[in-house]
């Protein structure tokens, strides 16, 4: 294999030069490949779609995690749904005020696979004293749990197949039930420049689920096709998304970050005019 070609959209393609294939398995359910590349380091792809690379994963994970935790300001309990690669867990435990991070991953094999082939993503986070890892169905967990959280991070795949349940109104409603007062839920909503419907329906469903303030922000992840990833931000408190960089800085930004800054945090909530007309906010 000389080139990996992404096949997420029928009208758009991207290629990554393959230096060495480390793992490739075609089962009756999925095609899974991990390969080394010169441009983006180690690449993980599932069914022809790039899931993460060691070259730019930090953008997605830092923005998905630090934005809600620092917007909240007093997060003690954090819940991650999905995220079996451990990148979100790695970032969440960096906050001294966070007492525990609960990760609910449906497949233990995903965690073990990523620890073997992509160890830098979790960087030991699964063994950290703050980590509480549950092997369970995320949708069922939020429907049945009596635990409460300050921040819920939904690090899901795209809304197709098994991952579709994590994009439903019922799922969002159950997440809202688990949030403490002042809590925040964040989700991945795809690239609205290529597929605006995804952002539109996730925002609509989050509003229908009862969140009083629903908006979105952006992260520039080069290897996610199209480059601009929208992340949903839902809470009952509108002032959480309008805090100044000075306030964010005062809350203690981890020192070793590579993308997130208080200024990027604030700027990420700026929306293009066409998107405001279509999605709102």
pLDDT tens, 220-233?
999 988 778 999 99
Homologous superfamily, domain 3-53: Spermidine synthase, tetramerisation domain (2.30.140.10)
For the entire predicted model, the pTM comes to 0.95
- In the chain, what percentage of residues exceed pLDDT 70? 98
**Residues with catalytic annotation?**
155
- Please tell me the class of the 57-279 domain: alpha beta
Split at pLDDT 50, 70, 90, the class of 155 is very high
Contact 188, 156 (CB under 8 A): yes
Q: How confident is the model at residue 27 (pLDDT cuts 50, 70, 90)?
A: low
Measured between alpha carbons, how far is 237 from 248 in angstroms, rounded to an integer?
Answer: 16
Residue 101: burial class (beta carbons within 10 Å; 0-12, 13-18, 19+): buried
- Range list for CATH 2.30.140.10 in the chain: 3-53
Structure tokens at 118: 């992509």
The boundaries of every CATH 3.40.50.150 domain in the chain are 57-279
pLDDT averaged over every residue in the chain:
93
């Amino acid at each position: 294999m000389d080139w990996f070609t992404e096949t997420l959209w029928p009208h758009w393609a991207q290629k990554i030069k393959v230096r060495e294939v480390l793992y490739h398995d075609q089962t009756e359910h999925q095609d899974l490949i991990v390969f080394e590349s010169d441009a983006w380091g180690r690449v993980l792809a599932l069914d022809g779609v790039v899931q993460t690379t060691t070259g730019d994963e930090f953008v997605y994970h830092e923005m998905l995690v630090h934005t809600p935790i620092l917007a909240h300001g007093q997060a003690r309990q954090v819940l991650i749904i999905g995220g079996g690669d451990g990148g979100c867990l790695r970032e969440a435990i960096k906050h001294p005020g966070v007492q525990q991070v609960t990760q609910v991953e449906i497949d233990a094999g995903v965690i073990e696979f990523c620890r073997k082939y992509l160890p830098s993503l979790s960087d030991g986070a699964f063994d950290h004293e703050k980590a509480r890892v549950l092997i369970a169905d995320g949708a069922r967990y939020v429907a049945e749990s009596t635990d409460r959280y300050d921040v819920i991070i939904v690090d899901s795949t795209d809304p197709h197949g098994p991952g579709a349940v994590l994009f439903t109104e019922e799922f969002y409603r159950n997440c809202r039930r688990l949030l403490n007062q002042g809590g925040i839920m964040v989700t991945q909503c795809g690239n609205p420049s290529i597929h605006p419907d995804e952002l539109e329906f996730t925002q609509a469903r989050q509003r229908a689920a009862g969140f009083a303030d629903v908006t979105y922000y952006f992260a520039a992840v080069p290897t996610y096709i199209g480059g601009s990833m929208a992340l949903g931000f839902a809470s009952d408190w509108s002032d959480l998304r309008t805090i100044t960089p000075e306030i964010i800085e005062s809350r203690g930004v981890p020192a070793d970050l590579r993308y997130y800054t208080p200024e990027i945090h604030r700027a990420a909530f700026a929306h293009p005019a066409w998107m405001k007309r279509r999605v709102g906010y």
